[in-house]
Amino acid sequence: MKKGMLFTLILLVCFGSAFGGPKAESDSGGKESLTVWVTSDSPEMRAQLEKFKGQNPDIDFSIVFYPSEDLKTQLRLAVDSKTTPDIFYVNAGTMFQDFYRTGALADLTDIVRQNNLLSHINPDYIKPYTIDGKYYAFPGAPLTVWMALYVNRDIFAQAGITKDPATYSELLQTAAKLRSAGVAPLAIGDKDGWPAILLMGDFFAQQVTNMSIINAINSGRDKFTTNREIRRAFETVVNLGKAGVFMNGFVSQDHTAGIQTFAAGRAAMLYNGSWWTGVAGGTDFGFKLDVITLPLLDGLTEGRSVQMSSDMAYAVNPASIQKASVAKFLNYASSEESSIISAQGISAFAIYPGANEKVKLDPVFRTQPILSQFSKPSLAPFFDWVFPTPVTEILKVAIQQTIQGTITVDQALVQLQAEMDKNLNTMSPIAE
């Protein structure tokens, strides 16, 4: 969860100094040294980590807290300087692939199997971290559900909207009524580029059941300029932007502003993963809150898959793979108790099998548009992590420029393909 997810839990563990490389023991007492890097706004999760320290007096354990983006920066610096922490949380997709190529990820297959860690997750959740049948990270982030729109029912009623939009065309019609009533239809802030890419990913997921097209594009066997599903998903986001479905100023405002706009009752709908309530301060906004399925592309009767991923996972420095404390911490951090606590902290779903019945979530997340997604095939990782970083950066800008009319769809896809041609085969195939 996210890359952009403002309240996504990130856990990283290292032995010894963050920039001094791994240490077999602490400086005193002959203990193994375990330092946890974490970015979390959940007091409960902090307490959970401290609990590990109390349960394992044989481990010299400490915690360092970083802001999310700072933590990613520090990790990349550590990888580049060959001082990677012993255990660290890595984003699924591009970041994971980058670290794999540099040899910064240990093969965890034996640790996972010997400690039966797959019993702690749905095995599908480890697919984004699997290369050639081997595991190079273990899922740790809870699941945030997208493919939905949150709705202000009071605004719908005031605008005379009695039928929820179920298709792309109906969404355009609904947005036109809302604009006529003087209300922003859909809250989304795309200043940082990733929200529109995720929306594109949802429309892509409606058309496919696996990552075969993405793998083909990343390898050069298919192209942005010729693939129908990619073009349709891209065009749909662009057309929504051109038609005034998105809130005013969505290109210049970040997605925090989008969430706050909805929570303040100034937009009728919100596109976001379930973690948004942490930013909004809950769900009690003085209006009736509801959720609907993201409208389908015209001609579809149901979506074929959903974006759903434990999008951050624990990885291990190869130099520290022999440490018994690695297995001990991974077992603890992926336990049912830890999974529930991390999920509740960001209004998400636990990855531990059967644990979601124990997760305390707002009733809006226990509704059919949300729960029905768990029966669909999952596309992982999220769409803003599936292409090489230079390609994703072009995609962020290309969507905005095409909405603004400075380039055409065809020109945007040509730009994307030109950048992809420079980065072919820089990512290993994503598990399908």
CATH code assigned at 353: 3.40.190.10
Q: Identify residue 85 by its one-letter amino acid code.
A: P
Co-location of 59 and 134 in the same domain: yes
Query: Is 427 inside any structural domain?
Result: no
- Position 38 scores a pLDDT of 67
Query: Is 17 inside any structural domain?
Result: yes
Taking 90 as the threshold, does the pLDDT of residue 158 lie above it?
A: yes
- Position 23 scores a pLDDT of 41
Least confident of 62-66, 175-179, 322-326: 62-66
Edge-to-edge strands of the sheet including 184-187? 184-187, 267-271, 148-152, 289-293
Higher-pLDDT residue of 74, 16: 74
Co-location of 392 and 340 in the same domain: no
Co-location of 185 and 317 in the same domain: no
Higher-pLDDT residue of 35, 90: 90
Taking 90 as the threshold, does the pLDDT of residue 46 lie above it?
A: no
Taking 50 as the threshold, does the pLDDT of residue 10 lie above it?
A: no
Q: How far are the Cα atoms of 44, 144, 214, 309, 367 from residue 305, in angstroms, in the given order? A: 33, 15, 14, 12, 18
263 close to 247: Cβ distance less than 8 angstroms: no
Average model confidence (pLDDT) for the chain? 89
Query: Is 83 inside any structural domain?
Result: yes
185-200 confidence digits (pLDDT tens):
999 999 999 999 999 9
- Position 5 scores a pLDDT of 40
Co-location of 133 and 282 in the same domain: no
Co-location of 294 and 159 in the same domain: yes
Co-location of 159 and 24 in the same domain: no
361-406 confidence digits (pLDDT tens):
999 999 999 999 999 999 999 999 999 999 999 999 999 999 999 9
Structure tokens at 192: 């940082």
Query: Is 314 inside any structural domain?
Result: yes
Q: Say how many domains are in the chain.
A: 2
Least confident of 12-26, 302-316, 330-344, 346-360: 12-26
- Position 352 scores a pLDDT of 96
60 close to 26: Cβ distance less than 8 angstroms: yes
Higher-pLDDT residue of 279, 68: 279
* pLDDT > 70 in the chain, percent: 91
Co-location of 136 and 283 in the same domain: no
Query: Is 5 inside any structural domain?
Result: no
Per-residue pLDDT band at 26 (split at 50, 70, 90):
very low
Per-residue pLDDT band at 45 (split at 50, 70, 90):
confident
Co-location of 299 and 247 in the same domain: yes
Query: Is 187 inside any structural domain?
Result: yes
- Position 169 scores a pLDDT of 98
Least confident of 8-17, 134-143, 282-291: 8-17
Higher-pLDDT residue of 366, 9: 366
Co-location of 404 and 259 in the same domain: yes
Q: How far are the Cα atoms of 140, 210, 301, 385 from residue 381, in angstroms, in the given order? A: 14, 11, 25, 6
- Position 244 scores a pLDDT of 97
* pLDDT > 90 in the chain, percent: 72
State which residues form the domain around 344: 10-143+310-362
Per-residue pLDDT band at 321 (split at 50, 70, 90):
low
218-269 confidence digits (pLDDT tens):
999 999 999 999 999 999 999 999 999 999 999 999 999 999 999 999 999 9
- Position 32 scores a pLDDT of 79
Co-location of 131 and 237 in the same domain: no
Least confident of 82-86, 121-125, 176-180: 82-86
Query: Is 27 inside any structural domain?
Result: yes
Query: Mean pLDDT, to the nearest integer, of 420-425?
Result: 97
Co-location of 133 and 186 in the same domain: no
Co-location of 189 and 84 in the same domain: no
